[in-house]
Amino acid sequence: MKNIGQYRWDEIPISLKDKIVKAPLEEWGHLPMIVNTEWSTPNFSIIATSDDNDLICFLNLVERTAKFDGVDTEVVGINNLITARKYRGKGFGRTVMDKAQGFIFDKNKIGLLLCGDDVSTFYESLGWVKFSGSLFYNQGAKPVKWHQNTYLFSKESLANDSIDLCGLPW
Ligand SMILES: CC(C)(COP(=O)(O)OP(=O)(O)OC[C@H]1O[C@@H](n2cnc3c(N)ncnc32)[C@H](O)[C@@H]1OP(=O)(O)O)[C@@H](O)C(=O)NCCC(=O)NCCS
């Protein structure tokens, strides 16, 4: 039996929080861009655990007012979707993403995630659409351009040239 719950970031039980903070470093800690970038603190996490409280899969959610072509736009960012290695390929990633997409729809916001090429087909199969314009985020005082993929999830059609996250990336 598996349990899936949504937690405010500051209310995640400490035993799980520790694993959630370490998991991205275990996955991407060898990549200089990841360790040298300052990332947003999430607002929420969606977490799947086993009955004995083993961390199966999680993702983090960041709520932000971004600018789409200069216009304030409410977005929900998804970051650090990770399924623990021994649980991969069993549908947990898809299930946790379904919950996140429900969160985005319920709030009537636009989903936004940043990813590499290796997971593009996974997100496309879940209805995410690649954004072909430029995305910028803050790093220190400087705006920085994102050079990998940006994906959007929305009920509306989205034809934008540029997105400014107006803060740290996720
Ligand atoms: C990507 C990841 C979260 C998928 O989790 P998962 O629990 O294995 O996913 P699921 O079992 O729900 O797989 C759902 C579907 O996506 C496919 N899929 C899984 N990982 C994929 C990947 N890396 N690329 C393309 N497709 C993938 C599966 O084959 C499956 O297809 P199906 O429904 O047609 O059978 C997991 O592989 C992972 O943790 N990877 C390392 C961290 C990572 O890269 N996260 C993404 C950050 S942007």
| Residue 124 scores a pLDDT above 90 | yes
| Residue 63 scores a pLDDT above 90 | yes
The whole model's pTM is what?
Answer: 0.94
Q: What is the whole-number distance in angstroms between the Cα of residue 26 and the centre of ligand 1?
A: 17
Ligand 1 atom, smallest distance to 114 CA = 48
140: exposed, middle or buried (Cβ count in 10 Å: 0-12, 13-18, 19+): exposed
Q: Quote the tokens at residue 124.
A: 């496309």
Ligand 1 atom, smallest distance to 119 CA = 24
Contact 73/110 with Cβ under 8 angstroms?
Answer: yes
pLDDT in the model for residue 48 = 98
Separation CA 128–CA 150 (nearest Å)? 10
The answer to whether residue 152 sits within a structural domain is yes
H or E element, residue 45: strand 44-50
The answer to whether residue 110 sits within a structural domain is yes
pLDDT in the model for residue 159 = 67
H or E element, residue 76: strand 71-83
pLDDT in the model for residue 1 = 57
List the CATH number of the domain containing 41.
3.40.630.30
The answer to whether residue 170 sits within a structural domain is no
Q: What is the whole-number distance in angstroms between the Cα of residue 136 and the centre of ligand 1?
A: 26
pLDDT digits 0-9 by tens, 12-58: 999 999 999 999 999 999 999 999 999 999 999 999 999 999 999 99
- pLDDT tier at 169, thresholds 50, 70, 90: very high
Range of the domain at 28: 2-164
The answer to whether residue 155 sits within a structural domain is yes
The answer to whether residue 143 sits within a structural domain is yes
- Across the chain, what does the average pLDDT equal? 96
The answer to whether residue 109 sits within a structural domain is yes
Q: What is the whole-number distance in angstroms between the Cα of residue 120 and the centre of ligand 1?
A: 10
What total of structural domains would you count in the chain? 1
The answer to whether residue 169 sits within a structural domain is no
pLDDT in the model for residue 156 = 81
The answer to whether residue 38 sits within a structural domain is yes
